[in-house]
A = this chain, B = another copy of it.
Amino acid sequence: MADRRITAVQIETREREEMIDVTATVRDIVSEGGGDGTVVVFVPHTSAGVTINENADPAVQRDLLLWFRRLVPPTNEFAHAEGNSDAHVKATLVGSSVTVPFVGGVLRLGTWQGIYFCEFDGPRRRTFDVMIQG
């Protein structure tokens, strides 16, 4: 029988731009249900996103944020009055969801992969959905 299970997770971000490792949260939710399938981590915000990247050296996460600022600096060329268009562009570059297969309740992440909530306009209270399709 198809298993459809959604969990809404709350987090608080502390910086304007920040990558928060949410791998353990996703792993626990997948592990509870067991079985095979995919999990979708979905971010319901337009100035934040989610990506998978290296979990070993925290310098990689800093380099990512550095380069995203370089690619999309806050600039007065943007029309959007709230002044956070750079965050919206970054959200689209990163994407609003990641999909990860799992087998026997175990995520098929590579050794160095972590799942990161990407804050581009914090600090804020944020949420994300963890949707199991088993």
Contact = CB atoms under 8 A, between A and B. Distances in A.
Interface of A: 1-2, 4, 6, 35-38, 40, 42, 44-46, 51-54, 57, 59-60, 62-64, 66-68, 71-72, 77-82, 85, 88-89, 91-101, 103, 108-110, 112-113, 129, 131, 133-134
Contacts of A89: 63-64, 67-68
Contacts of A63: 78-80, 85, 88-89
A32 B36 CA distance: 19
Contacts of A72: 67, 71
A44 to B, nearest CB: 3
Contacts of A80: 57, 59-60, 63
